[in-house]
Amino acid sequence: MTGRLVVVSNRIPTEAVPSGGLVVALHDALSEQGGLWIGAHPETGDPDAPFEEIGGAPYRRLAFRLSEADYENYYLGFANSVLWPLSHHRVDLVEINAAYTAAYLAVNRRLARRMAAILQPDDLVWIHDYHFLPLAAELRALGVGNRIGFFLHIPVPNITDLEVLPHPPDYAAWLAQYDLVGLQTRTDVARCLEIYRADPRAEFLPSCAVKFEDRVTRVQSFPIGIDVAAFRADALSAGSKGDGMEARANYVIGVDRLDYSKGLPNRFRAFERYLQDHGTGDRLSLVQIAPPTREAVDAYRRITADLEYIAGQVNGLYGAFDWSPIRFIHRPVPRDEIARLLRGAKACLVTSLADGMNLVAKEFVAAQDPDDPGVLILSRFAGAAEDMTDALLVNPYDHDAVAQAIDRAAHMSRDERLRRHAALTEVVERTDVRAWSRSFIDRLSRLEPGLLLRGRP
Burial class (CB in 10 A: 0-12, 13-18, 19+), 33: middle
Give the nearest distance from C-beta 212 to ligand ADQ in angstroms.
25
Residue from 120, 115, 133, 200 nearest 169 by CA? 133
Q: What is the contact surface with ligand ADQ in residues (CB under 6 A)?
A: 22, 153-154, 224, 255-257, 289-291, 332-333, 338, 355-360, 363
Tell me the CB-side half-sphere exposure of residue 285, using CA atoms within 13 A: 22
Cα–Cα distance, 433 to 233 (Å, whole number):
16
Check 27, 41, 153, 399 and give the catalytic one. Answer: 153
- State the amino acid at position 215 in one-letter form: R
Q: Which is nearer to ligand ADQ, 51 or 171 (CB)?
A: 171
Q: Which is nearer to ligand ADQ, 9 or 146 (CB)?
A: 9
Helix (H) or strand (E) holding 424: helix 414-430
Check 355, 387, 390, 432 and give the catalytic one. Answer: 355
Per-residue CA distances from 429 to 224, 251, 321, 390 (Å): 11, 26, 43, 15
Give the nearest distance from C-beta 209 to ligand ADQ in angstroms.
24
- Grouping H, G, I as helix, E, B as strand and the rest as coil, residue 283 is coil
Phi, psi of 100 (to 5 degrees): -65, -50
- DSSP for 282-293 reads T--EEEEE----
Q: Which is nearer to ligand ADQ, 47 or 223 (CB)?
A: 223
Give the nearest distance from C-beta 384 to ligand ADQ in angstroms.
7
407 classed as catalytic: no
Our separate counts of H helices and E strands in the chain read: 15, 16
Cα–Cα distance, 294 to 77 (Å, whole number):
11
Residue from 356, 330, 351, 361 nearest 402 by CA? 351
355 classed as catalytic: yes
Q: End-to-end distance of the chain based on CA atoms, in angstroms?
A: 20
- DSSP for 408-421 reads HHHT--HHHHHHHH
Helix (H) or strand (E) holding 104: helix 98-116
Tell me: cis bond preceding 168? Omega within 30 of 0 counts: yes
Tell me the CB-side half-sphere exposure of residue 16, using CA atoms within 13 A: 1
Cα–Cα distance, 224 to 431 (Å, whole number):
6
Burial class (CB in 10 A: 0-12, 13-18, 19+), 393: middle
Cα–Cα distance, 73 to 156 (Å, whole number):
22
Give the nearest distance from C-beta 206 to ligand ADQ in angstroms.
28
Residue from 227, 264, 137 nearest 431 by CA? 227
Q: Which is nearer to ligand ADQ, 47 or 85 (CB)?
A: 85
Give the nearest distance from C-beta 11 to ligand ADQ in angstroms.
11
Q: Which is nearer to ligand ADQ, 223 or 325 (CB)?
A: 223
The residues pairing with 329 across neighbouring beta strands, listed in sequence order, are: 289
Q: Which is nearer to ligand ADQ, 175 or 290 (CB)?
A: 290
Give the nearest distance from C-beta 257 to ligand ADQ in angstroms.
5
User: Which residues are the active-site residues?
Assistant: 153, 355
